[in-house]
Structure 1
Amino acid sequence: MSLSTCTSLSPAELEARLRLHRLPELGPRRFRTLIDAFGSASAALGAPAAAWRALGLPAACAEARRSPDVRDGASAALRWLERPARHLLMWDGADYPALLAELCDAPPLLFVAGDPALLEKPQLAIVGSRRASKPGMDTAAAFSRSLAGAGFVITSGLALGIDGAAHQAALDIGGRTIGVLGTGLENFYPQRHRRLAEAMIAQGSAVVSELPLEAPPHPGNFPRRNRIISGLSLGVLVVEASVASGSLITARLAAEQGREVYAIPGSIHHPGAKGCHQLIRDGAVLVESVEHILEPLRGWQRVTASPIPAASEHPLLGLLHAAPQSSEALARACGWTLPRVLAALTELELEGRVANESGRWLARAR
């Protein structure tokens, strides 16, 4: 059983918290209200209904706490935690991510499949449209590769489109990535990304959710999911989004949480660029190259301060014109650090000078 953050809790208190977590209409603030009022989840569960009402809690909460479904769900969660690479983080535990803990509505419980230590590492979120264009997907992948290579964990929502491209690109270069679900971890959505999520877990990354394990994809869950994506991250990059995109919710939450918001502009004729243009008008950082993100964050990651050459004088192009090579081989050949190589390759890829195919870089004819 993997409960490094729960070692101070008795088995009864742990089970009681899992039961509280499943009650209807009991969000993060009400969860903490109960713990503060009664001192523990166990005491809260045993308190009279009148005491709950006095705290302003809905009758449905008090009535459901002794439900067999609530008890059975908590028992199932305890069994889930006995499986390898399954973890539970609590908002008052030592291993709870510090940035997320700053939120007034931080999740009281976080289920984690994979490596929970990643949640404490410097993260950048990459989000965007589920129906992204091919150039948008390529841009998300390029930025993800470079930022992951620079030492950042790439955080996103495991949705179709931009999210999936960002997760996959981070994995492709051996980076780390976190997927935040709007469902329970045992009711994965979207199913088309189940294999991607399994690969993330197997390769040392993580998939997380604040929701009960079997929670379905209810529309109201996804704005809640978005606050976790932004809350975990130093900043949020929106690659492509319409004005109605949920990515703009993530960006708005990031701004409210004091995180940086970055947006990539596009054609004025492309509907998928209008959301990014709106963000830029509202004060988001206009991003045309990865350096626009990395430069202000030098203290958080491993990129060297050496300037990246302009494309016209790039030594990497000479190497790639000779033969396709991996990022690692390029780093060895030119004597640069891998993060610097990845940042440079991203610049060249965005300019259409190089392309990545099956993990190897090649120069494109112009």
Structure 2
Amino acid sequence: MPARSSSLAAWLRLERAAGIGPRTAVTLLDAFGSPDAVFGADFPALAAHVSPAQAHALLQPPPEATRRLLDATLDWLDQPGHHVLALGEPGYPELLARIPDPPLLLYIRGHAQLLAGPCLAIVGSRNASVQGRANAQAFAEALSGAGLCIVSGLALGIDAAAHEGALRRCGGTVAVVGTGPDLVYPARNRALCERIAHAGCVVSEYPVGTPPVPGNFPKRNRIISGLSAGVLVVEAAAQSGSLITARQAAEQGRDVFAIPGSIHAALAKGCHMLIREGAKLVDTARDVLEALALSPLLALQAARLSTPDISLTDIKIDNSAESGSGMQAESALLDALGHDPVEPDALLARLGWSIGEMSACLLVLEMAGRVERLPGGLVQRVFKR
């Protein structure tokens, strides 16, 4: 068996051994150094580190299903842009390796080097409000423009909006999925997933062919937080799965951020709960960047990151040669809108701004009731009577 196949076979065997979870596997790897050495050990040596039942399970020959999985994985790896990273190998994300239960294997589609850069997770409700999705997209775009890679879970709602915003700027985006790397869930995000695989990367701890089992999604949340220096929760109900990610982040020593909302909004309850528990209240991208710059997990230097003022209540935009105040920028955008519905691309051409500048200013005006979004993506000025 070629060296690559032999090594991968041992990792798959360890990953799928009965009764051996990530924490126990890490214990074994610390003791023996590699999966091959684990399977080369005898019962007394194994029983010194795991239970007798686990030691017996490790001594069993690999089942035929594991051999078939090896063949399927090797076929998947032969496709361009597909990678598998094992715990401890060069390129395995350092922050993720530090959590108590890191994945033994990461299946990756796209640019694996993004996992080694400065990352921030953005998560929130699947049933997000229109405003919540706009906030997620605006924050992701601003933070990606500052050099952060945005990590999320490819779910509907906040996750998808965060990926969309990040794809517009230089920081890139990582989607951590709860299926095998060859499947897409939800199917509605298939096109988005392909864009992420092309411009960012898609990551899974689950082997090729793994279907969307409900229990896999909460489990993968530890990877979303584990890859990141911090987690930003945009919208979350009191029982939201996003709170699992946030609390796992806190347990992992990550910064937790939350955007506040109305006391009457159900989707703000989770964020308010996190803030009461110690999460940092944020309403600008700068708030997040300044906090991360002090994080011992990730020394984000000012030279590497810009600090744009993308705020829900105020915005400063550099429009060509001169920098205008928030009110001047808003006035310029309203003038560019005119009286009729406008496509965003046409509005962008009229203004001569960046996408991030226009999106942020539109967000402020939409919150103020001076702009509305119409079906088909059109934008229209609201005239007060």
TM-score higher than 0.5 here? Answer: yes
Kept in 2: contact 1:20–1:65 (CA 8 A): no
Letter of the structure 2 residue corresponding to residue 308 of structure 1: K
Show the counterpart of 1:6. Answer: none
Structure 2 residues not aligned, in runs of 5+: 294-301, 318-323
Identity of aligned pairs, percent?
Answer: 45
**Matched residues in 1 for 2:377 and 2:129: separation?**
21
Q: Shift of the alpha carbon at 1:149?
A: 2.1
* Greater displacement, 174-183 / 312-321: 312-321
Pair 1:296–1:343, CA change in 2 (3 A) = farther
**Matched residues in 2 for 1:132 and 1:95: separation?**
35
**Matched residues in 2 for 1:365 and 1:143: separation?**
28
Letter of the structure 2 residue corresponding to residue 186 of structure 1: D
What is the CA RMSD across the aligned residues, in angstroms?
3.3
Residue 214 (structure 2) aligned to one of 212, 219, 223: 219
Letter of the structure 1 residue corresponding to residue 220 of structure 2: R
**Matched residues in 2 for 1:154 and 1:187: separation?**
21
For the pair 1:308 / 2:316, whether they are aligned, the reply is yes
Letter of the structure 2 residue corresponding to residue 220 of structure 1: G
Kept in 1: contact 2:229–2:292 (CA 8 A): no
Kept in 1: contact 2:369–2:382 (CA 8 A): yes
**Matched residues in 2 for 1:210 and 1:39: separation?**
21
**Matched residues in 2 for 1:315 and 1:240: separation?**
27
Q: Shift of the alpha carbon at 1:351?
A: 4.9
Show the counterpart of 2:111. Answer: 115
For the pair 1:66 / 2:62, whether they are aligned, the reply is yes
Kept in 2: contact 1:326–1:360 (CA 8 A): no
Pair 1:348–1:117, CA change in 2 (3 A) = farther
Pair 1:314–1:295, CA change in 2 (3 A) = farther
**Matched residues in 2 for 1:41 and 1:339: separation?**
47
Pair 1:36–1:122, CA change in 2 (3 A) = closer
**Matched residues in 2 for 1:349 and 1:148: separation?**
22
Show the counterpart of 1:4. Answer: none
Show the counterpart of 1:242. Answer: 237
SS in 2 for 1:110: strand
Show the counterpart of 2:175. Answer: 179
**Matched residues in 1 for 2:238 and 2:373: separation?**
31
Letter of the structure 2 residue corresponding to residue 313 of structure 1: M
Pair 1:86–1:350, CA change in 2 (3 A) = farther
Kept in 1: contact 2:234–2:259 (CA 8 A): yes
- Post-superposition Cα deviations, 1:138-178, rounded to whole Å, max 9, x if no partner, equal 22122222222222211101112111121123224575211
SS in 2 for 1:111: strand
* Greater displacement, 301-310 / 325-334: 325-334
**Matched residues in 2 for 1:318 and 1:363: separation?**
12
Letter of the structure 1 residue corresponding to residue 222 of structure 2: R
Alignment of 1:187-198 (within 5 A): 187-198=183-194
**Matched residues in 2 for 1:147 and 1:311: separation?**
21
Kept in 1: contact 2:286–2:307 (CA 8 A): no
Kept in 2: contact 1:327–1:341 (CA 8 A): no
Show the counterpart of 1:78. Answer: 74
Alignment of 1:207-356 (within 5 A): 207-297=202-292, 299=302, 301-303=305-307, 308=316, 312-315=326-329, 317-318=331-332, 321-322=335-336, 333=352, 351=368
* Greater displacement, 93-102 / 237-246: 93-102
Q: Shift of the alpha carbon at 1:51?
A: 4.5
Pair 1:95–1:363, CA change in 2 (3 A) = farther
* Greater displacement, 338-347 / 239-248: 338-347
Aligned length: 355
For the pair 1:98 / 2:102, whether they are aligned, the reply is no
- Post-superposition Cα deviations, 1:249-269, rounded to whole Å, max 9, x if no partner, equal 111111122211111112222
Letter of the structure 1 residue corresponding to residue 328 of structure 2: H
Q: Shift of the alpha carbon at 1:119?
A: 0.7
Q: Shift of the alpha carbon at 1:85?
A: 0.5
Q: Shift of the alpha carbon at 1:282?
A: 0.7
